[in-house]
């Protein structure tokens, strides 16, 4: 099996054998364009070039795999919008999940549908991080461009199109668009009508395990994958990460993902409709299941940011130099907090105007205090999601961790103490999402008999136990952390309104 995980900063390609063992992995990177007003865009063809490079690297390193691949399968960043013309070519850069420019369009949807009703239909709040408001934004601001749009797909769907010539998406990715009805399992006519977006631009929805097509001759020449190799469409990276973390059934427990964006999640047989709408629910890549999720915009991204600022040299050693001294620093315990809303925020506030801030900073605070506050801020934000899960009836007895930041013992320790439950690191923290894609691909072509193999493919470390004295202090600190945000929220809104007026004046 060859799987690809199209993330925010690169494509991770992984070779997995028929026994479920990871043979090799490689990553091809690409850039993101960030700009004023919440702009976040990428060139879709950069994704395709990365898939070509990564595929060829693995196949050149393992030439015996070229003719032996049972399938290629995909995971991809969610909630974006790749707009295509009638010739299936992009009409503009892709607007990715981190883009928050469509606040006015999301507000218009709220006025027309109602937030509570939309949450019941889609499992999500109406929010500018999702696909549908992004389409409205382009229609409103770039009418000539939107007039050329004939199809809209997600990241992995575009690469599947380039590989096979077939156009489709799956329920997991569809459920992250603000345009999907989780009850009917199809596009929501009500949401599309409110958005004034024609249903015909959205692709057919097929199960995640569907063999959507086969590698074309042209794609074979570019990727090194044999022509005719089956391509399984796969799913969105959130639900795929759940599978890669071994969460394939309601009894599989809770997991946390510590990537650029970060989240906590679990599997259920029905969407979680939180009365406070702190969480959202995606369709799982496992048919019939859902993954209630609480996602923050910048989790691992906040850790990367503080590393860029304080330890700008490249290489993994910078994290050891940065995080080690933070192990024993007092931050929240000394009244210092970091609100990690560098890209606005999803769970629990759903506020694209939120911004990051150090609160309670004193003259005596130094590098270790700042770093510790960042780690605690990430843990506090994710803790709000765990509260929503518990209040919705989920039993949170521990959290299994995946994603790059889970490699740090210091990060693990902070999360464990803040959350007050044991945390365990899965053996394949960096490859979990690509591993999930390989499982979906293997099930799709019959190499794997069921999704349960995911739990056997990545072992768990011994659990780290919380310090209950520290947890008790953090419980009080979490209240102060939340209070700091609430007090700053009106200021965030005032600054956003002033910035909007200034942008209008510049036009």
Active site residues: 237
Task: For helices 367-391 and 468-506, give the axis angle rounded to 10 degrees.
Answer: 100
**For residues 302 and 284, what is the distance between their CA atoms, to the nearest angstrom?**
27
Q: Is the dihedral of CA 27, 75, 224, 23 positive or negative?
A: positive
Q: Which of 500, 296, 464 is nearest to 381 (CA)?
A: 296
Return the axis-axis angle of helices 300-310 and 367-391, rounded to nearest 10°.
Answer: 170
Specify whether the CB–CB gap between 225 and 2 falls below 8 A.
yes
Of the candidates 279, 266, 446, 253, the one whose C-alpha atom is nearest the C-alpha of residue 348 is 279
DSSP 194-220: HHT--GGGSPPB--TT-EEEE--HHHH
- CA 440, CA 77: separation in Å to the nearest integer? 16
Nearest to 198 by CA among 150, 145, 131: 150
Question: Which alpha helices (DSSP H) does 363-430 contain, by range?
Answer: 367-391, 409-419
Concatenate the DSSP letters of all residues of 245-314 into one string. Answer: TT--SGGG-EEEEESSSEEEEE-BSS----TT---EEEEPSSTT-EEEEEEESSSHHHHHHHHHHH--S-
* Tokens linked to 138: 């382009």
Compute the distance between CA of residue 433 and CA of residue 237 in angstroms, rounded to an integer. Answer: 6
Residue 16 buriedness (CB in 10 A; 0-12 / 13-18 / 19+): buried
Per-residue CA distances from 44 to 118, 155, 218, 309 (Å): 29, 7, 18, 29
Tell me the three state secondary structure of residue 94.
strand
Q: Is 302 exposed, middle or buried (0-12, 13-18, 19+ CB in 10 A)?
A: buried
Token code pair at residue 299: 């989790």
Q: Is 63 helix (H, G, I), strand (E, B) or coil?
A: helix
* Residue 119 φ then ψ, to 5°: -65, -40
- DSSP H helical ranges for 313-462: 317-323, 367-391, 409-419, 432-445, 453-457
């Amino acid at each position: 099996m060859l799987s690809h995980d199209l993330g925010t900063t690169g494509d991770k390609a992984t070779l997995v054998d028929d026994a479920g063992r990871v043979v090799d992995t490689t990553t091809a990177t690409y850039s993101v364009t960030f700009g004023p007003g919440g702009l976040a865009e990428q060139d879709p063809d950069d994704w395709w070039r990365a898939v070509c490079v990564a595929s060829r690297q693995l196949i050149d390193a393992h030439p015996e795999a070229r003719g032996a691949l049972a399938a290629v399968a995909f995971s991809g960043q969610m909630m974006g919008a790749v707009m295509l013309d009638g010739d299936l070519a992009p009409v503009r850069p892709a607007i990715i999940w981190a883009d928050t420019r469509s606040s006015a369009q999301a507000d218009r949807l709220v006025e027309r549908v109602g937030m509570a009703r939309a949450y019941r239909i889609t499992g999500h709040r109406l929010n500018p991080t999702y696909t549908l408001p992004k389409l409205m934004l382009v229609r409103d601001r770039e009418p000539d461009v939107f007039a050329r749009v004939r199809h809209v797909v997600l990241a992995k769907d575009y690469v599947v199109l380039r590989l096979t010539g077939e156009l489709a998406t799956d329920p997991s990715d569809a459920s992250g668009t603000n345009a999907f009805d989780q009850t009917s399992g199809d596009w929501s006519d009500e949401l599309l009508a409110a958005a004034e977006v024609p249903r015909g631009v959205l692709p057919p929805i097929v199960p995640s395990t569907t063999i959507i097509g086969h590698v074309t001759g042209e794609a074979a020449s570019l990727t090194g994958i044999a022509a005719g190799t089956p391509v399984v469409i796969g799913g969105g990276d959130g639900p795929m990460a759940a599978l890669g973390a071994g969460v394939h059934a309601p009894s599989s427990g809770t997991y946390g993902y510590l990537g650029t964006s970060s989240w906590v999640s679990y599997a259920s047989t029905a969407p979680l409709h939180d009365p406070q709408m702190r969480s959202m629910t995606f369709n799982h890549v496992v048919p019939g299941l859902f993954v209630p999720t609480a996602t923050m915009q910048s989790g691992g991204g906040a850790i990367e940011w503080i590393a860029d600022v304080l330890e700008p040299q490249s290489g993994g050693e910078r994290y050891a130099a940065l995080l080690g001294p933070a192990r024993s620093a007092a931050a929240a315990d000394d009244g210092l907090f970091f609100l990690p809303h560098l890209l606005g925020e999803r769970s629990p506030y759903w506020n694209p105007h939120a911004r990051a801030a150090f609160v309670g900073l004193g003259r005596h605070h130094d590098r270790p205090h700042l770093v510790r506050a960042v780690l605690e801020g990430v843990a506090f934000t994710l803790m709000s999601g765990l509260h929503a899960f518990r209040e919705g009836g989920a039993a949170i007895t521990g959290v299994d961790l995946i994603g790059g930041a889970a490699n740090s013992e210091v990060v693990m320790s902070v999360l464990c103490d803040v959350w007050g439950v044991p945390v365990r690191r899965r053996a394949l923290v960096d490859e979990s999402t690509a591993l999930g894609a390989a499982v979906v691909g293997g099930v799709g072509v019959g190499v794997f008999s069921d999704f349960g193999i995911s739990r056997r493919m990545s072992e768990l470390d011994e659990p780290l136990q919380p310090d209950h004295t520290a947890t008790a202090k953090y419980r009080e600190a979490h209240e102060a952390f939340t209070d700091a945000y609430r007090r700053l929220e009106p200021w965030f809104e005032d600054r956003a309104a002033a910035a909007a007026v200034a942008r209008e004046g510049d036009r």
